[in-house]
Amino acid sequence: MKAAEIFSSLEDRIVRGELRAGDALPTVREAAELWQVNKNTVAAAYRMLQNAGLIYSAGRNGSVVGGPVAPHATTGWAPPPDGVIAANGGNPDRTLLPSALMVRAQLQKISTDPLLYGEADEAMPLMEWARASFDADGIPADSLFIGSGTMAVLDMVLRNCLAPGDLVALEDPAYATTVGLVRSIGLKTFPLAMDAQGVRPEALQAAIKAGCKAVILSTRAQNPTGICTSAERAKQLAPIVAKAKQTLFLDDDHSSLLELAPYRNLVAAHAERWLVTRSVSKFLGPDMRVAVAAGDALTVARIARAQAYSMGWVSSLLQRLVGGLLQQPAVHTLVRDAGKIYRERYRYMQKALRRIGIETTGTAGFNIWVPCADDASIAQSLIASGWHIRTGADFTLESAPGFRVTTAALDQAAADAFVAALAQALTARPPQLA
């Protein structure tokens, strides 16, 4: 039996659901005995599975199934059953996005002339907004890049600046899509423990000592927790970042213009190799697939070259639309007011959870992380009560289990109803709170 045959057999079992996410595979030695092949053959097959994103290394626990790629895997959002409220998808509140009327009005103002190959170029209004946005936070904007959303930018960075097998440090719990992306391209994850102020200094120091080639952070409104890096924590982390000359630091600042918390210029101010990304999905809508990035010249040059040889460029029509919207005072007012509402909803949910004895760690964001060792059972109980949450297995590396609730579209009445349903679920099947 060849490595490719072992790969195909296990891939088929994972895709069919015979092997499920979290299932441990036999050790290389055990598998070699089972299939009567050389251990190197098994190791090669496991590497192929890891590069395909189907399994990942869990340290002493060996190789673990990550699960097949499903249509909703990137967001955790799947259509809920009738009568069930989706509090699982990380979406913004549709009513707080620019209206169809505002978008149509902007479309009438921009050029819709068709462009041919070689004619596409960055739309100036979008570049102007990007420079102003980065400059306002002290982020050098000498080297800018426009990509098709933050995850597309991160994908290009990781593929073109790292090699399969490299270690990447991620906040723990981390954004599930980022975890999946890192594993899918054959990189290994290293957990960064957090507290209420952000990534813990000793965790970042350990990541650098372990040889992590990249560190991916969200210094404000972290997904899934809502943790925002404090000024004091940023000062503690700064010298660690500055000494890590060979490490690439990436800051996913997805909420940017909403100003859910002050921005801590940790990455651009102290790292030699760095990239800060800002997408418009949270305040213009997820279908506006545009992100701007600022970074060191080498990193930006690499991803610009990679994009030139793949998708080429982000639609100039979309760039002009997004740039035009971001130049409108009415849109800025809408976004500023939306940010205030999101902050209020997060805080209200946090207080409501505290009333039933659940303490959460976070400051502001679209999502809140509820520690719970029995998250799968609680999720089932909540579905029966009309609520759909996101269980925590996709988010955690080594941290305690829990589940994510998207608070962005939940007003006070909805938050009260959710917490009442959660309290009932906890009473009916008492889990061990993590």
Quick: pLDDT tens for 370-403. Answer: 999 888 899 989 998 999 999 998 899 999 999 9
Check residue 65 and give its pLDDT: 85
CA distances from 217 to 171, 382, 434 (A): 6, 31, 24
Both tokens of 237, joined, read 């982390």
pTM for this entry? 0.85
Structural domain span for residue 44: 3-65
Check residue 80 and give its pLDDT: 65
CATH of the domain at 336: 3.90.1150.10
Helix (H, G, I), strand (E, B) or coil at 63: strand
Together in a domain, 313 and 208:
yes
Together in a domain, 208 and 155:
yes
Residue 356 one-letter amino acid: I
Q: What pLDDT tens digit does each residue of the chain (434 aa) get?
A: 788 889 889 988 888 888 887 788 999 999 999 889 999 999 888 888 877 778 877 666 678 887 555 544 444 555 666 788 999 999 999 999 999 999 999 999 998 888 888 886 667 899 999 999 999 999 999 999 999 999 999 999 999 999 988 999 999 999 999 999 998 888 999 999 999 999 999 999 999 999 999 999 999 999 999 999 999 999 999 999 999 999 999 999 999 999 999 999 999 999 999 999 999 999 999 999 999 999 999 999 999 999 999 999 999 999 999 999 999 999 999 999 999 999 999 999 999 999 999 999 999 999 999 999 888 899 989 998 999 999 998 899 999 999 999 999 999 999 999 999 999 999 876 555 55
Together in a domain, 258 and 404:
no
Helix (H) or strand (E) holding 235: helix 231-243
CB 396 within 8 A of CB 175: no
Check residue 122 and give its pLDDT: 60
Check residue 290 and give its pLDDT: 96
Together in a domain, 352 and 301:
no
Check residue 17 and give its pLDDT: 84
CB atoms within 10 A of CB 146: 23
Check residue 71 and give its pLDDT: 47
Together in a domain, 271 and 123:
yes
Residue 75 lies in a domain: no
CATH of the domain at 60: 1.10.10.10
Instruction: Evaluate the CA torsion angle 374, 379, 380, 381 in order and state its sign.
Output: positive
State which of 295, 327, 359 marks the end of a domain. 327
Q: Report the mean per-residue pLDDT for the chain.
A: 91
State which of 272, 295, 327 marks the end of a domain. 327
CATH of the domain at 281: 3.40.640.10
Per-residue burial over 100-128, b = 16 or more CB atoms within 10 Å of its CB, e = otherwise: eebbeebeeebeeeeeeeeeeebbebbbe
Together in a domain, 191 and 336:
no
Helix (H, G, I), strand (E, B) or coil at 338: helix
What is the number of domains present in the chain?
A: 3
